[in-house]
Chain A
Amino acid sequence: MSEITKLIHKYLRHDKKFPHVWCPGCGIGIMLGALIRAIDRIGYEKDEIVLVSGIGCSGRLPVYVDFNTLHTTHGRALTFATGVKLAKPNLKVIVIMGDGDAVAIGGNHFIHAARRNIDLTAIILNNSVYGMTGGQSSPATPYGMKSTTTVYSNIEQDFRISELAVIAGAVFVGRGTVYHARLLDSLIEKALLKKGFSVVEVIAHCHTQYGRQNRLGSAVEMMEWQRDHALPVEKALKTKPEELKDKILIGVLIDKELPVYQDEYEKIRERAKEAAITH
């Protein structure tokens, strides 16, 4: 059996009504593949993984894989994940979100989960658009681009999701694209192994909605765009600022240490018990 067949057998839900909901050529499958490979390499038990998602195309991901899976309300995945993780800290809780999910309706939860440094891994599929509802602009739609709600052109600036995560306090932030699948594998693996709030932003294409409305071509052409516009962060340091203008920086943006919420809360429990005895 080839490696991929083994992984499919081990991790996909065979009793689920396939086929999946995603369009042919969608990048979400590549992200799912990278996630499964990372989980397999690290060697987590399927029982200890909780995969949490919000709403949208990316929100449909957990249903296909054989973990404890939780498909929550729009934008709220991180809040449910916070409850799961604090209630059972030995579980590995992974959160899948889209760009609208993570930084529009769920933007507040996103920055606060990062600030708190809860031990969660958030994987955000950024395809610049609300795909499932038919191609409306999202906070990640670049200025000047079209969508079904910005047919005359988007007049808003887009969020830089990874940079937002860095500023909000995430201890690990990596950005990859679905074109650079092997980089994605390693970024997700590093994020999963990091203690604290880790983020992987996955730049993906939505050729069905965003690509069609902006005449960006097929899935393949949009992935070629990712290839041509991605620049490893190490190289960016040696590049002139004007040449970085239309580039997407990929790789590890930050990897630092901060006190992790659960560890700190353990200390609070000790202090609370001491206080209970003395009073």
Chain B
Amino acid sequence: MERRSQREKKKSHRKELLLQGNEAVVEGALRAGCRFFAGYPITPATEISEILSVKLPQVDGTFIQMEDEIASLGAVIGASLAGVKAMTATSGPGFSLMQENLGFAIIAEVPCVIVNVMRGGPSTGLPTFPAQGDVMQARWGTHGDHPIIALSASTVRECYDVTIKAFNLSEKFRTPVILLLDEVVAHMREKMVLDDQEEIEILNRVKPTVPPEWYIPYEDTPMGVPAMANFGEGYRYHVTGLTHDIRGFPTSRPDEIGPFIARLHRKISQHFSEIQIAEFYQTEDAEITVIAYGCVARSAKRAVRDAREKGMKVGLLKLTTIWPFMRSSVEKVLQTSKILIVPEMNMGQISREVKRVNRGVAKVITLNKVDGTIITPPEILNRMMEVS
């Protein structure tokens, strides 16, 4: 009897759930402290809105359906400036509309998370079919020279982990973080264990500790990230999408513009090790390495297992961080690999980055599919056998 109650007690902390990727994003967001969501319905991201409309008010958070995706990201930025962790979720067409305010969040250094569940494009494209066509849009979609962080996931559990990571990075580096999911991972259901006792690191923005009259809202720091005051907490300052000086006021002085833009880049580039996440699967002795992300990484892993059974020396480099591009990880697999295979559900976006880093060292083989269907393990395996 006693043992049973103990077991039940233990069980109450371990929740076994059958979750969709989109549902796991919601769980991750709530765990990370997200208390504001603004969005606009769009397939295949809509479940995130629907579930948050139910769950956010239960925890004194706010859900609002806006008139479009431009408004959604605007509201998210406003909420974040007022001190509440905020997120939006969309797909390609909505992500296109968000590019304007994405740039605002970058230049004004406002933490927020943008989920883009990729579907086939361009334009309305293939609303219910998977694709990975927005990789370069995530990098360069908004105008101007800017850094960006974009993360991906290939399992339901990763959707949860990476959402928390996205909030942490956005808070720590005061920058928008893009979650680049695909329709397969977002709609797929997998068992996921949620452990209430698990130690999950939750990061919050650094607030100013100086008195308001000493506060310099955009001052440079060793981290490159200035302390962030929330609206209404006594630190009255100016936030603008114009290029600004360290006090936040618009400037047209070259000696202020240059260092500001340099700092925006530096605050990301000097923290690559914290931002970049990759998984190396059987790459130690791999002569052929597959580089993949999202749902394609699942097929690639299976293909690697099957190839290993045939005695082939192959491995997988799975990219969780898409941007900034994981140069060092690619260089690591280049130490053993003579051939890199980059399967993608686009015409070749990350493969260009791989080629740039490769600089002719290995042979880079692409495997592209843009017909709305996934890349299967046999397709990757066949390509391995063709090239080996």
Which A positions have Cβ atoms within 8 angstroms of B? 13, 15-17, 46-48, 50, 52, 62-63, 66-73, 76, 78-88, 90-91, 108-109, 112, 265, 268-269, 271-273, 275-276
Contacts and interface: CB of A to CB of B under 8 A. Distances in A.
Contacts of B233: 47
Contacts, number: 145
A269 B60 contact: yes
Interface string B324-366: 0000000000000000000000000000000000000000000
Contacts of B104: 72-73
Nearest to B54: A272
Given A78-B74, A265-B57, 9 more contacts: A63-B249, A67-B236, A76-B70, A82-B74, A83-B36, A87-B35, A90-B232, A272-B58, A273-B57
Contacts of B83: 87-88
B17 interface: no
B249 A83 contact: no
Contacts of A73: 74, 100-101, 104, 241
Q: Which 8 A-B pairs have the closest CB atoms?
A: A83-B78, A79-B74, A83-B75, A272-B57, A87-B82, A87-B79, A71-B240, A83-B79
Nearest to B239: A70
Contact of A87 (B36, B54, B72): B36
The B interface is mostly helix, strand or loop, or mixed, namely mixed
A140 to B, nearest CB: 21
Contacts of A71: 238-242
A79 B71 contact: yes
Which bucket holds chain B's interface residue count? 35 or more
B27 to A, nearest CB: 15
Contact of A63 (B55, B230, B250): B250
A108 B103 CA distance: 21
A63 B240 contact: yes
B232 A88 contact: yes
Contacts of A272: 54-55, 57-58
B67 interface: yes
A279 to B, nearest CB: 10
Nearest to B242: A71
A62 B241 CA distance: 13
A91 B231 contact: yes
Contacts of A273: 57-58
B81 interface: yes
B71 A76 contact: yes
A68 B237 contact: yes
B289 interface: no
Given A79-B70, A268-B57, A276-B58, A86 B240 contact: no
Nearest to B112: A83
Contact of A79 (B78, B86, B247, B249): B78
Contacts of A112: 66-67, 71
B38 interface: yes
The A interface is mostly helix, strand or loop, or mixed, namely helix
B77 A83 contact: yes
Contact of B38 (A62, A83, A271): A83
B62 interface: yes
B68 interface: yes
Contacts of B64: 82, 86
Contacts of B238: 13, 62-63, 69-71
B234 interface: yes
Contacts of A85: 78
A82 B77 CA distance: 10
A262 to B, nearest CB: 9
A50 B38 CA distance: 20
Contacts of A52: 78
A14 to B, nearest CB: 12
A76 B74 contact: yes
20 contacts: A46-B236, A47-B232, A50-B231, A69-B238, A71-B239, A71-B242, A72-B241, A79-B71, A80-B78, A82-B71, A82-B75, A83-B38, A83-B78, A87-B83, A88-B83, A91-B231, A109-B71, A112-B66, A272-B57, A272-B58
B177 interface: no
Nearest to B213: A15
A16 B240 CA distance: 14
Contacts of A268: 57
A83 B240 contact: no
B270 to A, nearest CB: 29
B76 interface: yes
B317 interface: no
Contacts of A80: 74-75, 77-78, 81
A15 B78 CA distance: 25
Greatest chain B CB density within 10 A among A63, A81, A265, A275 is at A63
Contacts of A68: 231-232, 236-237
A87 B78 contact: yes
Nearest to A48: B232
Interface string B39-80: 000000000000000110110101010111011111111111
A195 B62 CA distance: 19
B84 interface: yes
A17 B253 CA distance: 12
Greatest chain B CB density within 10 A among A72, A85, A268 is at A72
A205 to B, nearest CB: 25
